[in-house]
Amino acid sequence: SQKIEQNSEALNIQEGKTATLTCNYTNYSPAYLQWYRQDPGRGPVFLLLIRENEKEKRKERLKVTFDTTLKQSLFHITASQPADSATYLCALDNTGGFKTIFGAGTRLFVKA
């Protein structure tokens, strides 16, 4: 069956360190993968999109990698700040369809 797996355990890191979140998927062949941020009780906010032919993408302190062989994406936040504390969701398209399917998300806590 199709699965998108993100670490269900919360990630606790110290301010200034790099946070690395993982997204693994099975039985998908996505053309692209997205990362979103969600604060409690709020709607998800788009952060980055990476296509299947891209290995890495950066935006300010954010970096995403996409390995279609491993079926994995890594999401990095460098120089993390307490304001980065949120749930981070990965999402991918169901190739051939029109759905964007989300992982359950990983909660990140950045301690000052």
Partner 1 sequence: DSGVTQTPKHLITATGQRVTLRCSPRSGDLSVYWYQQSLDQGLQFLIQYYNGEERAKGNILERFSAQQFPDLHSELNLSSLELGDSALYFCASSFKALSNTGELFFGEGSRLTVL
Residues near partner 1 (CB under 8 A)? 31-32, 34, 36, 41-46, 49, 89, 91, 93-94, 97-105
- Give min distance, CB of 1 to partner 1, in A: 13
Structure tokens at 86: 């949120």
CB of 74 to partner 1, least distance (A): 19
Closer residue to partner 1, CB minimum distance, 31 or 79? 31
Buried b (16+ CB within 10 A) or exposed e, 82-103: eebbbbbbbbbbeeeeeeebbb
